[in-house]
Structures are given as structure tokens and as C-alpha cells.
């Protein structure tokens, strides 16, 4: 079955860069039918889209959060069946659980169907 | 962005009793293809969200039939026919009709 698992640091210092990788099993990241996405959850709060990427390299950044776009790089590594997020200039406001997930933009099941378990990232000196 | 508003924000239900959560969108979720892309998720404490329903009312694989969805346009409802202990946690609606997809703020369900 489809499984996703994040791997990344638990603690990042302010101004440093966060790197989180999502390992995918049970399905190939090489697909035009699904996108690979990052969603974060602030402590005790709801869910916020960060952006998504297709295997082709097409990326989408949430327009309502322009500050993220200038700091964010997403990539797909088909040789390792992984995709990654890099977020630079981290601040306290970026403390959150970072989820990777799979989603669809077409078909009746449009939305997000599989999630990783989440990677808690705390920004602190 | 489409704003998704859930109510109530918390719910306390006796085991075996029904529960209902509403989700309202700030604009119609009817897509140009005629479908309405409304997902419901359940997040247990300390876990990642799990999708329950898509396209308003279609259950994902393995989701018990006590979960059902209804609605149209801008107003949607998630119903549990009889709450079980494993149903505790937070429920989120999410619209997939307009980019960026957006989530409701969540409804916390606990057992009375």
C-alpha cells in the first residue's frame, strides 16, 4: 500500500535552513496523475498548505503566503523515490509539524489521499 | 482563497449516539466539470490526518459506513451514525475545487 515517511531534524536554529525528505513506498513518484505536497500544522492549530510538486518538476506555491515562496524549494528524486522540501531563513513562526502527502488535481478523488506521519520541527536557538 | 468554516468547533458525544459536523465554504465548490470536491479528514491525537470522504460523500477504502457526507454548493455535513471510542480527535473539511485547496479550522470530537 501507499506509504509516506518524513525524515528531518527536530530542531533548527533561527535563520538556518530546514530540509525534510519524504520517502515514498508502494507507488512510484514518477506519475502525472498525482502531485507530492507539503502541509504544515502549527502547534495546537489547523493545517496550512505549503505547496506541491509534480514529477515533471512543475511546482505550485500557496499564493496566500508569498513569504514562503521566496524561501521554499521543493524537489523530486525519482532514483530514490523521494521528494524534498527546503525552507530557508527559518524563524519561530515556522515551528510546526511538517507533513508530506500525495494529492490529485483530477478525477473524482481530487484532494489528498495519503499522508506521512509528520515531522515536528522546532525553531529555537 | 476559499474560506472553509466548520461548526461546531468542539463536540462532546455519548458513545453510540450520532454526531454531525457542518462545513461552509465562502464560495461554491461546484467545479467546472460539475463535480464538488469536498474532502473530510479525521486526525487522531498524535497522528496524521486520514481522509474519510471525497467528492462530498464517497468513502475512502476501509472507512466504516457509519461515516457519511452530504451537502451541495457551499454547505456540507459529515455525519457519524453512532460514535465509537476510536472516533475521537479532530475532523477537518477541505475543498479541492479551487487553488489553493483550503482546510476548515477543525472540529474536536470527544466522548462524553
% of chain A residues with pLDDT over 90: 78
Region A79-99: mean pLDDT is 96
pLDDT at A108 over 90: no
The residue among A110, A113, A114, A115 with the most chain B CBs within 10 A of its CB, best to mutate, is A110
Question: To the nearest whole angstrom, how far is the Cα of A119 from the nearest Cα of chain B?
Answer: 10
Among A26-30, A61-65, A90-94, the least confident range: A61-65
User: Which residues 79-98 of B have a C-beta within 8 angstroms of A?
Assistant: 92, 94, 96-97
pLDDT of residue A72: 93
Contacts of A49 in chain B (CB under 8 A): 100-102
Count, in order, helices (H) and strands (E) of chain A. 1, 11
Residues of chain B below pLDDT 50: none
B77 contacts chain A (CB < 8 A): no
Q: How confident is the model at residue A115 (pLDDT cuts 50, 70, 90)?
A: very high
Cα(B14)–Cα(A54) distance, integer angstroms: 44
Secondary structure of residue A30 in the 3-state scheme: coil
Cα(B58)–Cα(A37) distance, integer angstroms: 22
pLDDT of residue B74: 98
pLDDT at A65 over 80: no
Nearest CA to A50 among A20, A34, A60? Answer: A60
Q: Which residue has the higher pLDDT, A125 or A68?
A: A125
pLDDT at A118 over 90: yes
Contacts of A117 in chain B (CB under 8 A): 47-48
- Residue whose entry in the numeric block shows the C-alpha cell 525524515: A7
Amino acid at each position: 500500500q501507499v506509504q509516506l515517511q518524513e525524515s528531518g531534524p527536530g530542531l533548527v536554529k533561527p535563520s538556518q535552513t530546514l530540509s525534510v525528505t519524504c520517502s515514498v513506498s508502494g507507488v512510484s513518484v514518477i506519475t502525472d496523475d498525482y502531485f507530492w505536497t507539503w502541509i504544515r500544522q502549527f502547534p495546537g492549530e489547523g493545517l496550512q498548505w505549503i505547496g506541491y510538486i509534480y514529477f515533471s518538476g512543475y511546482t505550485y506555491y500557496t499564493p496566500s503566503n508569498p513569504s514562503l515562496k521566496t524561501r521554499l524549494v521543493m524537489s523530486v528524486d525519482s532514483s530514490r523515490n523521494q521528494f524534498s522540501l527546503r525552507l530557508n531563513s527559518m524563524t519561530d513562526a515556522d515551528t510546526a509539524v511538517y507533513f508530506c502527502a500525495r494529492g490529485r488535481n483530477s478525477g473524482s478523488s481530487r484532494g489528498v489521499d495519503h499522508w506521512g506521519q509528520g515531522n515536528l520541527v522546532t525553531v529555537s536557538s | 482563497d476559499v474560506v472553509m468554516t466548520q461548526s461546531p468547533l468542539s463536540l462532546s458525544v455519548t458513545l453510540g449516539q450520532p454526531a454531525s459536523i457542518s462545513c461552509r465554504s465562502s464560495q461554491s465548490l461546484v467545479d467546472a466539470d460539475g463535480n464538488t470536491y469536498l474532502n473530510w479528514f479525521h486526525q487522531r491525537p498524535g497522528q496524521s490526518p486520514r481522509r474519510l470522504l471525497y467528492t462530498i460523500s464517497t468513502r475512502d477504502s476501509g472507512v466504516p459506513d457509519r461515516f457519511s457526507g452530504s451537502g451541495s454548493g457551499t454547505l456540507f455535513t459529515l455525519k457519524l451514525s453512532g460514535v465509537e471510542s476510536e472516533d475521537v480527535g479532530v475532523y477537518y473539511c477541505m475543498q479541492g475545487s479551487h487553488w489553493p485547496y483550503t482546510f476548515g479550522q477543525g472540529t474536536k470530537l470527544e466522548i462524553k
